[in-house]
Amino acid sequence: MIVPMTLEHALYVCRNMRALSMKSMEGTRFTYDPQEFAINRFMTDGLKLAAIAEDGTPVGIGGLQLNSPLVWSAWVCGTDRWHECSREIVWKCRKTIRTMMAKPESCHRIQAMCLTEDAGARRYLEVVGMKWEHDMLRLRKDGGAMSMYSVIE
């Protein structure tokens, strides 16, 4: 089930994030604290959603944040149980992308980044309709790369 994200959803997912999501967060931020990140995501303007498993446990959070005029950044993180809602997540992402891109007066680009070595995240971004643009070398603190994906009007 996909629902509007609450602070409780964000806190749970950020404290139980899958290892590769954690590596991405730690590598691209000056400091990473799960509680601080959860509060930041909750306070961010824009679309914020949570994926809830059948037992009521939050398994993922994500959304869209206006990055610059007409350019939106997608953000997503999940627990190891993310796959339990993967069909709903993909369906909602595809629908949201179509809806946003149908409004050229408010959106002409949606972009997202993931760890270059995270094959699952790369596949997910492609499945929801994003295209690989380039790898940003030495972007992370550990010297690793991040991959940029986007949908452009």
Over residues 120-126, mean pLDDT: 94
Q: Say which residue, 30 or 135, is predicted with more confidence.
A: 135
Tokens of 110: 């949606």
30: confidence class by pLDDT, cuts 50, 70, 90:
low
- The pLDDT score that the predictor gives to residue 125 is 96
| pLDDT at position 117 over 70 | yes
What's the predicted TM-score (pTM) here?
0.90
Q: Are 1 and 45 in contact (CB under 8 A)?
A: no
Per-residue pLDDT of 76-85, as tens digits, reads 999 999 999 9
**Cα distance between residue 81 and residue 49, in whole Å:** 16
| pLDDT at position 8 over 80 | yes
Instruction: Write the single-letter amino acid at 135.
Output: D
Tokens of 75: 């953000």
Over residues 107-127, mean pLDDT: 94
Burial letters 101-117, b for 16+ CB under 10 A, else e: beeeeebbbbbbbbbbe
Q: Are 108 and 145 in contact (CB under 8 A)?
A: no
24: confidence class by pLDDT, cuts 50, 70, 90:
confident
- The pLDDT score that the predictor gives to residue 20 is 85
How high does pLDDT run on average in the chain? 93
